[in-house]
Structures are given as structure tokens and as C-alpha cells.
């Protein structure tokens, strides 16, 4: 049942889970004694870095393509992304055997570009400062007939990302536990809108966005109730978390099911990437580790509670990993 | 039921699993589309790098201590180890609130030494070339009353390590699958003896040791039926896999339930550590990645089959990780 005015409900996420079964990884819910002691809380980790293509983005992209008719899919898809959505769309298109064109900023991390190409997608590079990626996508769609796959503001994309939250809620419930807080990296709000919808329906918990310092449009929008925007579009290590403002479809859900959240800066993210590698034995990218960064840097806030965090992606260049380990 | 002449059977592993529940991580069985395509097989990964203390060794150590009487445990424990067994014993002792003394080679990786100290153990360093670690342990036991916890040649240690195999066999069975091959890093044979016992009882599969090139005493011993020894005690990146010969208790089980195996060299292990970091988003140490190394370097051998591998540990120094990523 979808609440009036909201783009998705639990049934959409359950339908997405059925489409994703056997194609996406049902990532585990991990625990770490070292992390529990560091935070003074019981922490559960959803490692979406272990997901196909190295981030949760495959879930939404695959669900979007799976929901198309054969005729629609055959036209191919086009998407704009700094990297993780690009890989998700490219890999979903490869699995369905349809062409994908990805509009990607020139300064995207090399590893994300290479991995997108590896899935067989055509890359169109653009200048983040001077060109409009949406206009480029529209031109490609008009020219080739390809269908645009939005990074977050789409019910199928949101429901696909929500399957991560569905699994978390199911696994916590199976353990007989309720989370006091759920921390989710946020850019446009696709992942958090899906996760918060699943938790609201199955395992009520306070779901919070975690955003880069200076890019807290989501927390400000949840607080004010309307679309607030970031002043900048660049200037954070979390290259995947720099949307200007929440989506038209995601914000109403965030207002209904999520709470104001937290921020973490570059140094906190680097420390979290290093902690994840050394202690959790997981590779995260800076933005993918931002919920862990908020947890470690604000541990007192969560003391004594049960906290679930999403590690949303692990597509980090070797040089950036080395930089985080050296910090 | 334990077969005549064998130190452990399925019931011992099931008893260990009951003792470990809630203390060890029940690690998931992971899959990777990229790995499946690289090998041309269906691969399941048991990531014991995600285990408490970063390796499977916690399982055996905890089971050994849990099986002691209160009076025995209060005397404290002593163990000799280059690192992962050390951390497992130190952490198990910490959880039981008893003192641990670890006899560790002077050239053990710094990360393993630091992590052992972090669990509160006392470290006694020795010279790998000139001193006998068993004699040092015996002296400490005689002096302090501490109980020696062997790294592999002990029924409780073997049964504890076997819980990893029990979980793998359970998870594969739940998926309706049988493995054609199970690849397990081997030094003294504690892990493989337990894993092979679990698979033989629950999900018959060809269980193979994977050893460093030049240190293939286990495969030679399984083949000849008697204890074969390595000519060297050092000279491999797999610092955790350099036992001279299989155990007195492990070899009979390996002869009954395991097959001759494979080897991998330093370059293959480095490549596997890099593959694990970049593609699986998992941190492994070189020896911990040796089954993956054998799989990637001998992919043709496994083509079309279903293969399960253990990533046995992830305690790698930053410098060694950088070295593997640069190779």
C-alpha cells in the first residue's frame, strides 16, 4: 500500500526484490566487535560495496530496466552519473542485452569510468562546470530513442534501492532486534527514500541521511519541509553525494519517513575508509563510508543503542585508498 | 559420529558451532559476477577476513577455551603463532577474562603484533631461525601453569575451525547446490581437516588444500599417505602458511576426507590480494588469498563447475597491501 502522495510503498519494494532475486547480491548484515567497542553501541553493517558493480546502484537500475516492456528496453538506455549509477545502469543493460550510453563528468574517478566501459557502455564525457548533463541526455534520447534512467527521482529506481532496506529490516527482525537509528549516505535521496519506506513498514526506526559537510540539503529540506539547495556542486571527497537538492519524488517520502541527519567532512570520511579497510576488511569509497564516518566521529550520540549503517559503495581508486590509509 | 582413528567428527563441529554462536561471526557465503566471469565457474566465497580478529583462527581458539573447565581456564593460556592464531587466542582469552601469553616470531607482521597486544595478551618474541617456540611455550606453561593452545593439532581447535565448513555446507545446501571443489588455505591442516569433515558428512565435495609454492607438504602427505615435510621454514609471502608438516591429528582426517591440492606463488597471491580489494571489495592477506590465487591462476581447471573458496584472513600491513596493489 502506497500512502497518498508518495511515489512508492512497501509493495513496490517487494516487487523490486522479486525482480532482483538471483541478479543482485543479497548482501549480509555484518557485525564487528571492534566497531561495537569503538562506538559503544551495537552496530549492524549493510555492506553494499559487496553488491554487484560495487554499490547499491545496481539495485535501482536493474529494477528500472526489468520493469520496462521488451519494446522499451530494446531502444536502449541513457543515464548521467559520476560513476556508481553509471555502472549500475551499464551492468543492468549488459544483462538485458541492450545498449547503454552514460553521460559522465570528465573528472569522474578513473576506476568508475573503466568499470562502466567494462560493462560495454558508451561513455559521453562532459564538463561539470560548463555543460548541463540533463540536456546532453535529452539530446541522446531524442537522437537514439534511448530511455533515460534517472539516478534517483523515479519510483522503480527508488523501490530498487529500497530492497537494501527491506533486507536490513528483515535481517534485524529475524534477530529479534529493532534499530534505534539507521544511517544512510544521501545525495538525491533514492536510497534513503527506499530504505526509510521499508523500515517504516516493517521495523520502525529513526532513519537519518548522512551528507558531506557543506552539502546538507537533505537535512535542511526535511527540517524546513521544502526543497533546500546546496550552494556548491563540487568540493567534497564524496563525489557520489553532490546532488544539488532532493528529488521531487524522494523529498515527500523523506519528510514522511526520515528525520534530519548528520554530516561528515573529508577527514572523517578518510578515517572511515581506513577503519573499514583495517578493521572491517571492507573496501569503501569516501562517500560510501560517510555513514560510518558520522558514526565514528559522533559516537557519543549513539552510545548504548542499536545502530544500522549502509556502506553504500566501494569503487575507490588505488591512489585514493592509499591516501586514506596514509591520513 | 567420529570415524575410528579420526580426532573429530561432525558432532564435534556441531558442538563447536553451539559454543561459538553469538561470539564468532557467522560469515556469509558471497558471490561475485566479476569473479564468476574471470574463472568461468560458479564461485562461492567464505570471507573469514570478516571473522572476529580478521581470520578463522578465532573459531578454534574460542572453542578450545570454551571447552575448558573454569579451573583450567583460570590458569591462563599460552600459544605460539606468527599472528592470526595469536589474535584468536588473545581475543578468546580476553572474552573469558583470563590471561594469555603469545610466543611470536620477531619478524611477524606489525599489524598482527599490534592487534594481539590490543586484546591484552603478553607477547614473548623469539628468533624464528635460532629458537624453538614449542620449548619456549613449554617453559612458560611450566612456570605459570598456563595451558598450551595448539595452532592446529587439537580436536577442539580443529572442530572450531570446522564450523566455517559447516556453515558453507549448510549455505550451499540451502541454495540447492553441491560444490565440485572446495579450496582451503592450509598450513598445519586445522582448517581443512574441519572443513573436509563437515563437507564429507553434509555435502560431499572434493576438498583440496592450497599451499604456497615450495611448501606443499600437505598435498605430498595426502598423496604418499605419510608425513612429508617442507625443506624450508621461511621464504613465502604467506607468513601464516609455513608449518613444516601436517599435524598428527590432522593428517589422518586429510587422508580420509581431502584430496591432493594446488599451490600458488607470491606473484599469484599478490594478484589475488589486489583482485579481492578491487573486485570483491574485501581485504585479504597474501596467505588468506591463496585459494583465490589458485582459482584465478588455474581457472581452466575449474571451468563450468561450482567452486567454494575460503578467504582465510585479512590481517595485512598497509605497506604490503600497497605492494600488492602496485604489482
How confident is the model over A286-308, as pLDDT tens digits? 999 999 999 999 999 999 999 99
Asked if residue A1 lies in contact with residue A10, where contact means CB atoms within 8 angstroms, the answer is: yes
Structure-model confidence comparison of residues A105 and B201, the more confident one: B201
* Whole-number pLDDT of residue A93: 98
Mean pLDDT of chain B: 95
For range A247-269, the mean pLDDT: 98
Query: Looking at the complex, does the CB of residue B272 fall below 8 Å from at least one CB of chain A?
Result: no
Contact B321 A318 (CB under 8 A): no
Over 70: is that where the pLDDT of A1 sits?
no
* Whole-number pLDDT of residue A54: 96
For range B34-41, the mean pLDDT: 96
Min Cα–Cα distance to chain A from B66, Å: 18
Query: Looking at the complex, does the CB of residue A70 fall below 8 Å from at least one CB of chain B?
Result: no
Contact A50 B280 (CB under 8 A): yes
Over 70: is that where the pLDDT of B1 sits?
no
Mean pLDDT of chain A: 95
Distance from C-alpha of A124 to C-alpha of A107, rounded to nearest angstrom = 12
Asked if residue A165 lies in contact with residue A196, where contact means CB atoms within 8 angstroms, the answer is: yes
Phi, psi of B296, deg, nearest 5: -70, -40
For range A253-264, the mean pLDDT: 98
Cell 545502530: give the residue: A307
Report the share of chain B in percent with pLDDT over 90.
88
* Whole-number pLDDT of residue A15: 98
Residue B264 β-bridge partners: B212
Asked if residue B222 lies in contact with residue B275, where contact means CB atoms within 8 angstroms, the answer is: no
Query: Looking at the complex, does the CB of residue A174 fall below 8 Å from at least one CB of chain B?
Result: no
Over 70: is that where the pLDDT of B117 sits?
yes
* Whole-number pLDDT of residue A82: 76
Q: What is the largest CA-CA distance in chain A?
A: 56
Query: Looking at the complex, does the CB of residue A18 fall below 8 Å from at least one CB of chain B?
Result: no
Query: Looking at the complex, does the CB of residue A43 fall below 8 Å from at least one CB of chain B?
Result: no
For the ranges A125-129, B8-12, B135-139, B170-174, the lowest mean pLDDT is seen at A125-129
A23, closest residue in chain B (CA to CA):
B33
* Whole-number pLDDT of residue B179: 98
Over 80: is that where the pLDDT of A16 sits?
yes
Q: What is the DSSP pairing of strand B42-47 with strand B77-80?
A: unpaired
Contact A281 B277 (CB under 8 A): no
* Separation in Å, CA B302 to CA B42, B179, B259: 9, 11, 15
To the nearest 10°, report the CA torsion of A246, A252, A256, A260. Answer: 20
Phi, psi of A209, deg, nearest 5: -75, 150
Q: Which residues of A touch B54 (CB under 8 A)?
A: 281
Q: Which of A283, A295, A292 is nearest to A320 (CA)?
A: A283
Neighbours of B13 (CB within 10 A): 27
Asked if residue A290 lies in contact with residue A272, where contact means CB atoms within 8 angstroms, the answer is: yes
SS3 A44: strand
For range B205-218, the mean pLDDT: 98
* Whole-number pLDDT of residue B308: 98
Q: Which of A101, A89, A82 is nearest to A233 (CA)?
A: A82
Closest CB to B281: pick one of A33, A314, A325.
A314
For range B91-103, the mean pLDDT: 97
Q: Which of A84, A271, A281, A318 is the best substitution to test chain B (most B C-beta atoms within 10 A)?
A: A281
Asked if residue B154 lies in contact with residue B64, where contact means CB atoms within 8 angstroms, the answer is: yes
Query: Looking at the complex, does the CB of residue B277 fall below 8 Å from at least one CB of chain A?
Result: yes
Q: Which of A310, A258, A262 is nearest to A289 (CA)?
A: A310
Min Cα–Cα distance to chain B from A33, Å: 7
* Whole-number pLDDT of residue A136: 95
* Whole-number pLDDT of residue A129: 83
* Separation in Å, CA B161 to CA A165, B89, B296: 32, 13, 25
Q: Which residues of A touch B318 (CB under 8 A)?
A: 278, 325-326
* Whole-number pLDDT of residue A214: 96
Over 70: is that where the pLDDT of B268 sits?
yes
Min Cα–Cα distance to chain B from A65, Å: 18
How many Cα atoms occupy the beta-carbon half-sphere of B185 within 13 Å? 35
Q: Which of B251, B182, B241, B266 is nearest to B219 (CA)?
A: B251
Phi, psi of B152, deg, nearest 5: -150, -30
* Whole-number pLDDT of residue B327: 86
- Following DSSP, what letter does each residue of A184-248 receive, concatenated? EE-SSSHHHHHHHHHHHHHS--EEEEEEETT--HHHHHHHHSS----S-S--SS-TT---SS--T
SS3 A257: helix
Closest CB to B281: pick one of A49, A278, A325.
A49
Contact A280 B47 (CB under 8 A): no
Phi, psi of A9, deg, nearest 5: -135, -175
Q: Which residues of B touch A52 (CB under 8 A)?
A: 33
Distance from C-alpha of B188 to C-alpha of B245, rounded to nearest angstrom = 7
Query: Looking at the complex, does the CB of residue B28 fall below 8 Å from at least one CB of chain A?
Result: yes
C-alpha B6 chain-centroid distance? 19
Q: Which residues of A touch B47 (CB under 8 A)?
A: 281
* Whole-number pLDDT of residue B134: 87
Q: Which residues of A touch B31 (CB under 8 A)?
A: 25
Q: Which of A15, A18, A16, A94 is nearest to A53 (CA)?
A: A94
Q: Which residues of A touch B284 (CB under 8 A)?
A: 281
pLDDT band at B293 (very low <50, low <70, confident <90, very high): very high
B280, closest residue in chain A (CA to CA):
A50
Q: What is the DSSP pairing of strand B181-185 with strand B100-105?
A: unpaired
pLDDT band at A110 (very low <50, low <70, confident <90, very high): confident
* Whole-number pLDDT of residue B153: 96
A137-146's contacts with Cβ under 8 Å and 24+ in sequence apart are: A137/A78, A137/A79, A137/A80, A137/A103, A140/A78, A140/A101, A140/A103, A141/A78, A144/A75, A144/A76, A144/A78, A144/A101, A145/A75, A145/A76, A146/A75, A146/A76, A146/A77, A146/A78, A146/A99, A146/A101
Query: Which of left, alpha, beta for B214 (phi over 0: left; psi -120 to 50: alpha)?
Result: left
Q: Which residues of A touch B38 (CB under 8 A)?
A: none
Express each pLDDT in A135-176 by its tens digit: 999 999 999 999 999 999 999 999 999 999 999 999 999 999
Min Cα–Cα distance to chain B from A281, Å: 5
Closest CB to B283: pick one of A54, A91, A283.
A283
Contact A25 B25 (CB under 8 A): no
Min Cα–Cα distance to chain B from A54, Å: 7
pTM for this prediction: 0.96
Q: Which of B281, B316, B326, B327 is the best substitution to test chain A (most A C-beta atoms within 10 A)?
A: B281
Interface of A with B in 231-260 (CB under 8 A): none
Residue B262 β-bridge partners: B210
Distance from C-alpha of B123 to C-alpha of A229, rounded to nearest angstrom = 55
Q: In terms of residues, how long is chain B?
A: 327
Query: Looking at the complex, does the CB of residue A20 fall below 8 Å from at least one CB of chain B?
Result: no
For range A56-76, the mean pLDDT: 98
pLDDT band at A234 (very low <50, low <70, confident <90, very high): confident
Contact A281 B50 (CB under 8 A): yes
Express each pLDDT in B124-147 by its tens digit: 999 988 999 889 999 999 999 999
Q: Which of B267, B273, B308 is nearest to B289 (CA)?
A: B273
Amino acid at each position: 500500500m502506497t500512502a497518498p502522495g508518495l511515489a512508492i510503498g512497501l509493495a513496490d519494494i517487494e516487487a523490486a526484490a522479486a525482480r532482483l532475486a538471483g541478479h543482485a547480491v543479497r548482501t549480509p548484515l555484518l557485525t564487528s566487535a571492534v566497531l561495537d567497542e569503538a562506538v559503544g553501541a551495537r552496530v549492524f553493517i549493510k555492506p553494499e560495496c559487496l553488491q554487484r558493480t560495487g554499490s547499491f546502484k545496481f539495485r535501482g537500475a536493474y529494477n528500472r530496466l526489468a520493469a520496462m516492456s521488451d519494446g522499451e528496453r530494446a531502444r536502449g538506455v541513457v543515464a548521467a552519473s559520476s560513476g556508481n549509477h553509471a555502472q549500475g545502469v551499464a551492468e543492468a543493460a549488459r544483462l538485458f542485452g541492450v545498449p547503454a550510453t552514460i553521460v559522465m563528468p570528465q573528472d569522474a574517478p578513473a576506476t568508475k569510468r573503466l568499470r562502466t566501459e567494462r560493462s560495454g557502455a558508451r561513455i559521453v564525457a562532459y564538463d561539470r562546470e560548463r555543460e548541463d548533463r540533463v540536456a546532453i541526455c535529452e539530446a541522446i534520447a531524442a537522437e537514439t530513442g534511448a530511455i533515460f534512467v534517472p539516478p534517483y527521482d523515479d519510483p522503480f529506481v527508488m523501490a530498487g534501492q529500497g530492497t537494501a532496506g527491506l533486507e536490513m529490516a528483515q535481517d534485524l527482525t529475524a534477530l529479534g532486534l529493532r534499530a534505534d537509528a539507521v544511517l544512510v549516505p544521501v545525495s538525491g535521496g533514492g536510497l534513503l527514500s527506499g530504505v526509510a519506506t521499508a523500515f517504516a513498514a516493517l521495523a520502525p526506526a529513526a532513519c537519518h541521511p548522512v551528507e558531506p559537510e557543506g552539502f546538507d540539503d537533505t537535512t535542511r529540506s526535511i527540517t524546513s519541509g521544502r526543497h533546500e539547495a546546496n550552494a556548491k556542486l563540487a568540493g567534497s571527497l564524496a563525489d557520489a553525494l553532490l546532488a544539488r537538492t532532493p528529488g521531487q519524488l524522494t523529498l515527500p517520502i523523506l519528510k514522511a519517513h526520515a528525520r534530519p541527519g548528520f554530516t561528515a567532512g573529508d577527514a572523517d570520511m578518510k578515517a572511515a575508509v581506513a577503519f573499514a579497510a583495517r578493521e572491517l576488511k571492507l573496501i569503501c569509497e569516501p562517500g560510501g563510508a560517510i555513514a560510518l564516518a558520522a558514526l565514528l566521529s559522533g559516537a557519543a550520540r549513539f552510545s548504548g543503542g542499536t545502530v544500522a549503517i549502509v556502506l553504500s559503495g566501494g569503487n575507490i581508486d588505488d591512489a585514493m585508498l592509499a591516501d586514506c590509509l596514509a591520513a
